A and B are shown apart, each in its own frame.
Chain A
Amino acid sequence: MSKYTEDDLREELKTKEYEYGFYTDIESETFPNGLNEDIVRAISKKKEEPEWMTEWRLEAFRVWESMTEPEWANVNYEKPDFQAISYYSAPNSKPKYDSLDEVDPELLATFDKLGISLDEQKKLAGVAMDVVVDSVSVATTFKETLAEQGIIFMSISEAIKKHPDLVKKYIGTVVPQKDNFYAALNSAVFSDGSFCYIPKGVRCPMELSTYFRINQAGTGQFERTLVIADQGSYVSYLEGCTAPSRDENQLHAAVVELIALDDAEIKYSTVQNWFPGNAEGKGGVYNFVTKRGLCETNAKISWTQVETGSAVTWKYPSCVLKGDNSVGEFYSIAVTNNYQQADTGTKMIHLGKNTKSTIISKGISAGKSQNSYRGLVQIHSRAENARNFSQCDSLLMGNECGAHTFPYIEAKNKTAQIEHEATTSKIGEDQIFYCNQRGIDTEKAIALIVNGFSKEVLNKLPMEFAVEAQKLLEISLEGSVG
């Protein structure tokens, strides 16, 4: 029978290019490779930062120097040579842009290719966007509209200058400089990122969005995001990422800190599609990210992530449930294909009374990839009546991939209620044949099965993102039938 075989599918996958893998030739200023105190100072100077910020960076750098890269994750990769990376690359020699008209037309063309025309974004109600290319924030839309309600949404560099009190008060309070190796590195060299402050009682009227792209070769991207939701406020924040296809690995080590003060709510959604490397496992982004949120009394933080890219992912968006009655949520879909490796999950730290957390993790592995869930649920002694529900489901495609679950539970209070459920399933030939028999071809059948498997998490994404995420899932898994 001339059937569309697994081999055909594999062939198609190999030739299928990473859709966002183009490089844009933009005039850029890149620092020499290597890292030392002078480089840290130079970054700070380049960004015209105040003295305290420079000192804060140097403190982080000194801690970082004494640290070693963590090795406990279930991933294998050649460690980056941190002296062979350039720690600053800006897409133009112009320090900043006052309006879109000043932006390099090449850069605007890049955004068009990515489907995020800023002009259109300006017109589209509903999403305000900050765009970070390589290391620098190049455009923030809707700033004025937001300012009317007292909402501050700008690049973190700008915030350091314009709102130093806020930045100084909160930066490093959730993810301290010395938190871990990559966080320390980020604290020393972060070049930009987004800053957002929602005043008391304000419900942010639109989705705030940051779009990250690595463009230059041999540069690391270290962005820093700080979101502060003041008492009783609400914000929904979206984050998207892409990078060009390159043979060498690129390093991405970001830090995201969320602060939800009393009665505030932050919803943080990520669609991560960094270049995953080619079919042979060459190239791709190393994604070593520290994301953490702090909940004060009655506050709620909800992390939703769809992770389809990166060669290696090391990422655990977490919630510190400090205030009584605070709520933490983590909804995740992690897809790995070919030689991708992901070690991702969450930490729910219950400190306050009646704190609640929910973890829904969906791991999908195909090709020769390895996909691990690693999660910690920690109930402290004074956290009366804390509750957690965790569900970790793994879906396997083919016989050469792996799915792993590492749940850690530490309960120091007897009133804690902790539930953990885990399942592992495989897309079976029987499921595929059943769909085929109903007229649904194999590619579509896989998309259907995967979407069904991921539904609980996809439903948590804002509408604008859900469709994109669904498409990404399909693209990432094309040709991976087993």
Chain B
Amino acid sequence: MLKIENLHASVEDKSILKGINLEVKPGEVHAIMGPNGSGKSTLSSVIAGKEEYEVSEGSIIFDGEDIEELAAEERAHKGIFLSFQYPVEIPGVSVTNFIKTAINETRKAKGLEDMPAKDMLKLIREKSDLLEIDRKFLSRSLNEGFSGGEKKRNEIFQMAMLEPKLAILDETDSGLDIDALRIVANGVNKLKSKDNAVIVITHYQRLLDYIVPDFVHVLHNGKIVKSGTKELAHELEEKGYDWIKQEMA
């Protein structure tokens, strides 16, 4: 589904990713861990197509197509979803209005008509129940005055509505208390299928107790320096990242 080869990327001439190789197949969950500044968030932004990042070398193949030239919204239309570490506020735009726009724009890109209001409401009801979201929440302005937990739950709600092929969860656990973490993780697990894939980007092992990865990769200084199974995450939790750094040195 996703194949990244020798990816180099920079922002404002500062080289951040220095040769990433990663392959994600349908049905898999990959965790990417690493210390602060290792390039985790850059990797997610580059896959999603954020403009400021310049890809200087390598390729990103999604569903057999090089997506390098595609704008962020076109990648979204193809089924790439990024759950943001810091979701932005859009005052005056309700959660419902926002997700309705997102769904209909995606449908438009595929040559489909707008989703009928009745179906939209049904889908919203279904997905908000799944994620234990109070429907009053949906008429609030997007992320405005949301608690950390509400923001992240809203991200996963959007993911549930858009049903992406590939979901990248960027530090979804940060700012969550244990109850919120459980709800968010349960939501992700319920949405998992043999046809879609998840990349979990996290600093801590904690989230991986709930969303169990098939593979764990350690990112350090712009490169994946170690890959393994979920045991690797436990090892990191115990020994910290210094151990990797020393091994690298």
Chain A residues engaging chain B, CB cutoff 8 angstroms? 1-4, 425, 428-431, 433-442, 444, 448-449, 451-456
Contacts and interface: CB of A to CB of B under 8 A. Distances in A.
Nearest to B81: A437
Interface stretch (B91-99, B127-135, B201-209, B212-220): B91-99
A434 B71 contact: no
Nearest to A395: B91
A436 B71 contact: yes
A65 to B, nearest CB: 48
Interface string B98-137: 1101110110010000000000000000000000000000
A450 B97 CA distance: 13
B76 to A, nearest CB: 4
Contacts of A442: 73
26 contacts: A1-B49, A1-B51, A1-B55, A1-B71, A3-B51, A434-B84, A434-B88, A435-B90, A436-B76, A437-B72, A437-B81, A438-B73, A438-B98, A438-B99, A438-B158, A438-B162, A439-B77, A439-B103, A439-B109, A440-B101, A440-B102, A441-B71, A441-B73, A449-B93, A451-B93, A454-B92
Nearest to A5: B51
Contacts of B50: 433
B44 to A, nearest CB: 10
A438 B90 CA distance: 13
Interface in B143-199: 158, 162
Interface of B is mostly: mixed
A451 B76 CA distance: 23
A456 B91 CA distance: 11
Contact of B69 (A2, A435, A438, A456): A2
Interface of B: 48-52, 55, 68-69, 71-73, 76-77, 81-82, 84, 87-88, 90-93, 97-99, 101-103, 105-106, 109, 141-142, 158, 162
Contact of A1 (B68, B81, B84, B162): B68
Contacts of B90: 431, 434-435, 448-449, 452
A309 B12 CA distance: 38
Contacts, number: 87
**Most chain A CB neighbours (cut-off 10 Å) among B49, B90, B106, B162:** B90
A456 B88 contact: no
A126 to B, nearest CB: 24
A439 B84 contact: no
Nearest to A456: B92
Contact of A455 (B55, B92, B105): B92
Contacts of A441: 71, 73, 105
Given A437-B73, A449-B90, 7 more contacts: A1-B51, A3-B71, A434-B87, A435-B90, A440-B101, A454-B92, A456-B92
A438 B154 CA distance: 13
A91 to B, nearest CB: 41
Contacts of B82: 437
A428 B91 CA distance: 13
Given A1-B51, A1-B55, A436 B72 contact: yes
A439 B76 contact: yes
